Structure 1
Amino acid sequence: MKLTTTTAALALLAVSAPAAAQYGPQPGQPQTAVEPAPGNATAKTTEGKKIKLSKDAQKAVIDLQKAVNANDTASIPAKVAAAQAVARTADDKYAIGQLQLKAALAAKDNVAMAAAIDAIASSGFVEAATSSKLYASLGTTFYNEKQYAQAGAAFQKASTIDPNNSELYTLLGEAKFAQGQKADAATAFQRAIQLQRAAGMKPEEKLLKRAVSVAYEARSPVAMELAREWAAAYPSADSWRNSIAIYRNMAHPDVEGTLDLLRLMQLTGGLTAGEYALFAEAAADQSNFNEAQAVIDAGIAAKVVDPASARFRDIVNGLKGKPKATAADLEAAAKMSPSPLNLLRIGDRYYGMGDYAKAADIYRKVLGTAGADKDVANLHLGMALARAGDKAGATAAFKAVGAARADIAKFWLAYLQQHA
């Protein structure tokens, strides 16, 4: 792929300040036409900024300019060295750097171009934004010529000078990726996204997807966070499915966590046939046959599950012989002072039956019971309240979830902010 950048082109910057032959007579013109007065050799940038050469550097800079204009490549290096030896001011150093850059562009010499830009940036004459643009354009040139290490170095310099420019981190990310440094690339993309958010901008979906893809290839932990950001910013069945799949593949949640993620995927329309099967089997393993049956029925209604297929025939037949709890059964079981885990499962059955208010009541009882797993209980309480339409209560419950369940709660919280 080729990179492009919104920064100014090197060629334009190279001739903007100083323009060709500003420090002495142009070829074919009378010697006196533009000959600078001693101690007063001046020129202007296209932005109107005056350049004034020191008395000591005038002759050497004009000699260098003549060699550059004549394309006298054999003498240019020596004349650059001579000019640098007598340079005294920021103006002197900048003028020399610009002439170096003009010569490097004419010769299509990227190494010389890099040296010229270093000279311009270190001169102290130009603003930081100009130096950053020069390095960004240099990096783009290197990248498009497949010199990825040099491109990365140039983009790194540009981003160091202008650390709040998100585009520079995107370019740096591409250069790092091209070098096979995928984790570093993911970090750069993530920084670009953070800067855009800090500036009040919504990151483009293609940037988020690129960041997620690269981070996942690198098996970087940031892939999970980036995936969640993608689903939160651009919710769709596809973004939710892929984001949750990335989390599951990297975090390897237990059956409890997997079920809670599949419950979210069902809400976002992301379940595939295989995930309907996994959902039903996991619910059945917890003896939550009500929810397992409801999942299969939903898959059939969505025309994703074929009950006659080999994949689902055994699941469907197995559920036919399993007892389905009634509200009366669950109410009686809750009065028997069950253990925190059994009480949690009673709440899960209410949840699977769609009685979210009653499920929330049971989960609150779990939280008040000694020895309860409060992270799971708060997560399930948040899920039930979210389904019941209590956004404030659900938000508080999800934010109370810690440890390994916290990331799952963040997925649910992202959904809640979009839909509840």
Structure 2
Amino acid sequence: MKLNRGVLAVLLASASVAVAAPALAQDKPAAAAPERKFNISSQARKEIVALQEAVNANNTAAIPAAIAAAKAKAKTNDDKYVVGQLELKAAVASKNDAAVAAAIESVLASGVVDSAQSIDLYNNLGSLRSNAKQYDQAAAAYENALKLDANNVNAMIMLGEVRNSQGRPADAVALFQKAIGARVAAGQKPEELWYKRAVALAYKAKSPAAVTLSRDWVKAYPTPKNWRDTIVIYQTNSQLEDSALIDSMRLAHAAGALSGENDYYRFANALMLKGYPGEAKAVLEQGFAAKAIDKSKATFSQMYASATTKSQGDRASLAASASTAKAGGDAKKVMVIADAYYGYGDYAQAADLYRAALGKAGADKDLVNLRLGMALARSGDKAGATAALNAAGGAQAEVAKLWLTYLSTKA
């Protein structure tokens, strides 16, 4: 974790210790009045001036003893703050992180630092302790920052990293979620890195939160690659049947997120197994055209030949089959024809048949509403698609949420 040296520079500049004895002060031009004047006690003045001189001269041999002497004499909060500030200046100059951490603690312990500056110092202290693998001390520093500002997202994120290092991934994920939520509540867009890190932590921990977080991520940053990662996370975290795999792969297709041989093979093979050769043929042709898959490879050439053979005459026969199915009372027969129309890209006709299936015996209403929502989404009916997808519950709820996320990214 990175130390914010800018914060330390501001601290060092804010009180450039105007504590020299009057005789020393007369030897220099008058400086601009500091925003805060420190009242150094007479008992500690001599030792603090000696420390100031050693620090300003970068007299590294004399500084440790001067710090000890000044601390021994410092009684008031102002005394302690100025000694801590000089200690910090020396530590920063020496590039000694352990000394910087100790000096920050001295400054904070003085009780003089205001709330805003204390938050920054606690965050810096947390970074130093974390870099030193002192995770309990780092966590305490970030928790102190959050006591002063419960919505300090930097402290949340850094504490999340510490919790992960402590072997507490669930707490780490919760802190990232809290930071993301705080940014959203403030009307600001969270950094993509936060989403990625939260998803990675949740995925590694095999947490169900990985699916929710990945949806939030792709909603905020809807790139094809992010869509692919989100869909893969959903598929990995779910026990999918072929139909559910197809519905999520159809989403990958809609989002332009199919990538590489594995994606095209899994999708086309699932379509063939479920009896949608026309759609499988179209998917393979898209992969060939994009040069994502090699038609000369036996795996794809054989699948394409089979899809071509099985789909011959299929499209032309659908109209008659649709009329017969709609006139009957079996929802499953209507669904088969509706799914075929969807596969050929005739989303309006597919939607009409899905609606018909809803009113027939044996209808799996969750699945029918999911497919209806998908067809309406592809046809551009955002309102209708949203209503249908929201009605898809049960085993279809999670993939429906993915499609709803996709809809939310469309104008």
TM-score normalised over the length of structure 1: 0.79
Residue of structure 1 aligned with 2:21, choices 25, 46, 67: 25
Instruction: Give the CA deviation at 1:13.
Output: 1.2
Residue matched to 2:229 = 242
1:85-123 deviation digits (Å, cap 9, x = unpaired): x54xx6566456545645665776756654554454465
Q: Distance in 1 between matches of 2:264 and 2:305?
A: 15
Residue matched to 1:328 = 320
List aligned pairs for 1:73-152, cutoff 5 A: 73-74=64-65, 76-77=67-68, 80=71, 83=74, 86-87=75-76, 91=78, 94-95=81-82, 97-98=84-85, 101-102=88-89, 113-114=100-101, 117-118=104-105, 120-121=107-108, 124-144=111-131, 147=134, 150-152=137-139
Contact residue 385 and residue 391 of structure 1 kept, 8 A? yes
Counterpart AA for 1:29: L
Residue matched to 2:48 = 65
Contact residue 140 and residue 151 of structure 1 kept, 8 A? yes
Contact residue 326 and residue 356 of structure 2 kept, 8 A? no
Counterpart AA for 2:226: S
Contact residue 381 and residue 394 of structure 1 kept, 8 A? yes
Residue matched to 2:188 = 201
Instruction: Give the CA deviation at 1:249.
Output: 1.6
Contact residue 80 and residue 100 of structure 1 kept, 8 A? no
Contact residue 100 and residue 116 of structure 1 kept, 8 A? yes
Residue matched to 1:337 = 329
Long gaps (5+) in structure 2: 55-61
Instruction: Give the CA deviation at 1:384.
Output: 0.7
Residue matched to 1:391 = 382
Residues 182/387 of structure 1: CA separation in 2 closer, same or farther (3 Å cut): same
Residue of structure 1 aligned with 2:356, choices 365, 369, 393: 365
Contact residue 145 and residue 152 of structure 2 kept, 8 A? no
The answer to which of 226-235 and 127-136 deviates more is: 226-235
Residue matched to 1:163 = 150
Residues 130/293 of structure 1: CA separation in 2 closer, same or farther (3 Å cut): same
Q: Distance in 1 between matches of 2:93 and 2:49?
A: 14
Instruction: Give the CA deviation at 1:206.
Output: 3.7
Instruction: Give the CA deviation at 1:149.
Output: 5.1
Q: Distance in 1 between matches of 2:157 and 2:91?
A: 27
Contact residue 15 and residue 98 of structure 1 kept, 8 A? no
Q: Distance in 2 between matches of 1:195 and 1:266?
A: 33
* Residue 346 (structure 1) aligned with residue 333 (structure 2): no
Contact residue 15 and residue 102 of structure 1 kept, 8 A? no
Residue of structure 2 aligned with 1:406, choices 386, 397, 403: 397
Residue of structure 2 aligned with 1:296, choices 276, 281, 284: 284
Residues 9/366 of structure 1: CA separation in 2 closer, same or farther (3 Å cut): same
Q: Distance in 2 between matches of 1:390 and 1:45?
A: 66
Instruction: Give the CA deviation at 1:14.
Output: 4.1
Contact residue 176 and residue 184 of structure 1 kept, 8 A? yes
1:187-241 deviation digits (Å, cap 9, x = unpaired): 4333333333223222333443333334333333332223223322232222211
Instruction: Give the CA deviation at 1:262.
Output: 0.4
1:146-187 deviation digits (Å, cap 9, x = unpaired): 655544443343344233233333333444455565544444
Q: Distance in 2 between matches of 1:128 and 1:334?
A: 70
Residue matched to 1:355 = 346
Counterpart AA for 1:25: A
Residue of structure 2 aligned with 1:287, choices 275, 280, 294: 275
How many residue pairs match? The answer is 396
Instruction: Give the CA deviation at 1:25.
Output: 1.3
1:251-291 deviation digits (Å, cap 9, x = unpaired): 23332221111001111222232222222222232223332
Contact residue 60 and residue 79 of structure 1 kept, 8 A? no
Q: Distance in 2 between matches of 1:118 and 1:215?
A: 33
Instruction: Give the CA deviation at 1:391.
Output: 0.8
Counterpart AA for 1:399: N
Q: Which structure has more helix as a fraction of its residues?
A: 2
Residue matched to 1:10 = 8
Residues 232/179 of structure 1: CA separation in 2 closer, same or farther (3 Å cut): same
Q: Distance in 2 between matches of 1:110 and 1:138?
A: 10
Residue matched to 1:40 = none
Counterpart AA for 2:289: A
TM-score normalised over the length of structure 2: 0.80
* Residue 232 (structure 1) aligned with residue 219 (structure 2): yes
Counterpart AA for 2:8: L
Counterpart AA for 1:359: A
Residues 65/368 of structure 1: CA separation in 2 closer, same or farther (3 Å cut): farther
The answer to which of 259-268 and 58-67 deviates more is: 58-67
